[in-house]
């Protein structure tokens, strides 16, 4: 693989420093799976009794770790996570299944738990056998060195073509008691989650039952990791996991409609959205971060499909890369999205400037402010479908030659 790319021009000005979460300890190390001279394995030790929830790719070629994790998450509890970068262990047949089982077994033997309590995640090249002996050789040492302060190291170890680690945190209240929510993620290409190569690991010291935790994670993912796209490709390995250790001594909360949960729900949504947007800002070759908001659609689902069709359009994305305010490409994408729009009521705004309405261009349209907006790093496109009250927001980036360079050299 080629050397590391320069940090994305869309990277945040600073990166979050994550506090320790009681009941969560992490470590990172180098197993030499693909990347010489850098960390490529991350482990998380979870306190006994930790509740676990997960959302995974819907790809019909889902990787072996995803299939394993679905079974672990069904129990609602977990004791550990093992993550490697550099090899996706996807489409590797029975050998891939054996790699996951061996990884879980070695981790379990090290911790003194059952293999069925260990989650495994992988990211990297598809269709290559993972050198499992290199991976399991480092696990005892890593679990022996876990720390509550190793979030930054863990975020670094799971990167592939990412140019920077991704982390976010919030402090919230449940029944007046402080609770922490931390999250790390990776992803820069093969991003169009259907639940990217996308992995996300979130943890809290809240005491929440697994069924409720799953409901909250699915809700947060729908408006974050499932509302981004870089290249329209859904990964075989997409995984988002949420853990609740139960260490916080807040009043019991068992239902999603409990008003004491509102601050936690908001904080979780914010952490997930921040991580998702950082993935887009690190899009392979990206130079512009794009927000596409659709209102006036038949349903929220219809609005999301309209927004995603625009966001995934190569013509729209390359126009944005070239700072070309060619809104006709947006019109064309909307027309093929498969959702109802009223062409005579449709409106399109770029950077707040109305560019199209009532079935055509705006009279006396002045392209100058739109062209100036397109020169910036942050692009805003607002569309009203003129049909109903459905609304959605999707985040994407432009498509540049840098994307081709990165992916043409990915296995070299």
Contacts of 294 (CB under 8 A, 6+ apart): 303, 304, 306, 307, 383, 384, 385, 390, 391, 392, 393, 394
284 marked ligand binding residue? yes
Find the farthest-apart pair of alpha carbons in the chain and give their distance in angstroms, rounded: 73
Helix (H) or strand (E) holding 316: helix 314-321
Q: How many residues does the chain have?
A: 412
197 marked ligand binding residue? yes
Which of 92, 197, 236, 239 does the annotation list as catalytic?
Answer: 197
Residue 285: Cβ within 10 Å count: 23
Question: From its phi and psi, is residue 175 left (phi > 0), alpha (psi between -120 and 50) or beta?
Answer: left
122 marked ligand binding residue? no
59 marked ligand binding residue? no
147 marked ligand binding residue? no
396 marked ligand binding residue? no
Q: Give the Cα separation of 402 and 390 in Å (integer).
A: 35
Query: Is 266 annotated in the active site?
Result: no
Phi, psi of 105 (to 5 degrees): -65, -45
DSSP H helices in 75-184: 93-111, 132-144, 151-157
Q: Give the Cα separation of 164 and 149 in Å (integer).
A: 19
CA distances from 189 to 211, 233, 309, 316 (A): 31, 8, 18, 18
Task: Judge whether 11 and 164 are in contact, CB under 8 Å.
Answer: yes
Q: Which two tokens stand for residue 297?
A: 């659609």
Would you name the residues annotated as active-site residues? 197
- Give binding residues for substrate as ranges: 160, 186, 197, 284, 407, 412
Would you list which residues are annotated within the binding site? 160, 186, 197, 284, 407, 412
């Amino acid at each position: 693989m080629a050397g590391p790319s320069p940090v994305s021009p869309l990277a945040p000005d600073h990166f979050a420093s994550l506090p320790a979460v009681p009941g969560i300890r992490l470590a990172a190390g180098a197993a030499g799976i693909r990347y010489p001279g850098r960390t490529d394995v991350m482990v998380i030790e979870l306190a006994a009794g930790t509740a676990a929830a997960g959302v995974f790719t819907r790809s019909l070629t889902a990787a072996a770790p995803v299939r394993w994790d679905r079974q672990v998450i069904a129990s609602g509890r977990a004791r550990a996570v093992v993550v490697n970068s550099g090899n996706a262990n996807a489409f590797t047949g029975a050998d891939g299944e054996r790699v996951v089982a061996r990884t879980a077994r070695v981790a379990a033997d090290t911790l003194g738990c059952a293999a069925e309590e260990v989650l495994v995640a992988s990211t990297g090249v598809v269709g290559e056998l993972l050198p499992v002996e290199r991976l399991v050789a480092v696990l005892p040492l890593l679990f022996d060195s876990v720390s509550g302060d190793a979030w930054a190291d863990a975020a670094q170890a799971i990167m592939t073509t990412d140019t920077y680690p991704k982390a976010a945190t919030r402090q919230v209240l449940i029944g007046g008691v402080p609770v922490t929510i931390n999250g790390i993620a990776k992803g820069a290409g093969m991003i169009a989650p259907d639940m990217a190569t996308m992995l996300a690991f979130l943890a809290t010291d809240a005491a929440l039952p697994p069924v409720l935790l799953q409901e909250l994670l699915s809700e947060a993912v729908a408006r974050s990791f499932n509302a981004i796209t870089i290249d329209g490709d859904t990964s075989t390995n997409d995984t988002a996991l949420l853990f609740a250790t139960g260490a916080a001594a807040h009043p019991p909360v068992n239902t999603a409609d409990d008003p004491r949960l509102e601050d936690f729900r908001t904080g979780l949504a914010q952490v997930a959205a921040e991580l998702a947007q950082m993935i887009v800002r690190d899009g392979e070759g990206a130079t512009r971060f794009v927000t596409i908001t659709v209102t006036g659609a038949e349903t929220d689902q219809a609005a999301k499909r309209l927004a995603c069709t625009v966001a995934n359009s190569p013509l729209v994305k390359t126009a944005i890369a070239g700072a070309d305010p060619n809104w006709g490409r947006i019109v064309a994408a909307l027309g093929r999205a498969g959702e109802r729009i009223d062409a005579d009521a449709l409106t399109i705004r770029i950077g707040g400037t109305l560019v199209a309405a009532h079935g055509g261009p705006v009279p006396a349209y002045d392209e100058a402010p739109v062209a100036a907006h397109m020169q910036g790093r942050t692009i805003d496109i607002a569309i009203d479908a003129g049909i109903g009250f459905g609304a959605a927001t999707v985040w994407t980036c432009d498509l540049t030659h840098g994307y081709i360079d990165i992916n043409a050299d990915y296995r070299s």
